[in-house]
Amino acid sequence: MIKSLSNERVRKVVSYIQKSKARKESNVFVIEGMKMLREAPVLQVREAYVTEKFLDGASEEDKEILWRYGAETVTDEVMKKMADTRTPQGVLAVVSMYQYSEEEVLDGYKEMGIEKPLLLILENIQDPGNLGTMLRSSEGAGVTGVILSKGSADVYNPKVIRSTMGSIFRMPFMYVDNLPAFVEKLSERGIKTYAAHLKGKRNYDKFDYTKPTAFLIGNEGNGLSKETADAASEYVMIPMKGQVESMNAATSAAILTFEASRQRRK
């Protein structure tokens, strides 16, 4: 059992929780809770930790999973030190990062058994909770890949991971250096790109999304940059009542992608 807060492995996990640089250098991220561990691909899990208190009440199935990963027992105090949450669930694991190629993100729909790509493009999304929610709702809507600008939050931030509720293991994504150029590249591939924009002249439900489609969502406070928005094929508007001036970025992404999902249902 690990009892010392200064244990080298404990300090490593804490660095992965707190620092994006540490995660990238070791090519890992941290997940918390038994649900996330159950969903994690077996070959991705590098190490796992569990408290005695959790083991005392764990099912035989959960104990078997923890045994499979060679989970190290730690004290409640050590778990609290390592975890990102105020009230740790008693299970924590270090998992290898995913490295998706451009081909996997853009053409992954073929492996998913989906006829046409449905992409979500995010520019400078800053809020980890928003980003995690977008990845989760994207999976639910049948999005086949997510593209992020370099200025967006780190997908492997612990708050993002929690908000994905497991979708981090299944949603292909990639970061790009030049988002406007990438959007233009998608157009050249025959993918229609739609920018969620207050200057849109037509409501979002007036377009045909059954063909190859990509939605562009901008920063929570500033929306899409002019250069990125102008690279899109069309502006789309989400009509609002009352005195609301703009829609939450994650909500906008869900509205658009689920409309595409609705249109594609047979």
Domains with residue ranges and CATH for the chain:
8-96 (3.30.1330.30), 102-264 (3.40.1280.10)
For strands 91-96 and 45-51, give the pairing.
antiparallel
Residue 112: how many other CB atoms lie within 10 Å = 15
pLDDT tens-digit map of 68-103: 999 999 999 999 999 998 899 999 999 999 989 999
Taking a C-beta distance cutoff of 8 angstroms, is the pair 166, 215 a contact? no
pLDDT tens-digit map of 205-254: 999 999 999 999 999 888 999 999 999 999 999 988 887 767 789 999 99
Taking a C-beta distance cutoff of 8 angstroms, is the pair 175, 99 a contact? no
| pLDDT computed for residue 76 by the predictor | 96
Instruction: Give me the percent of the chain exceeding a pLDDT of 90.
Output: 89
Average pLDDT over all residues of the chain: 95
Model confidence at 48, pLDDT cuts 50, 70, 90, reads very high
pTM reported for the whole predicted model:
0.93
Taking a C-beta distance cutoff of 8 angstroms, is the pair 120, 183 a contact? no
User: 169: exposed, middle or buried (C-beta count within 10 Å: 0-12, 13-18, 19+)?
Assistant: middle
Distance CA 166, CA 157 (A): 14
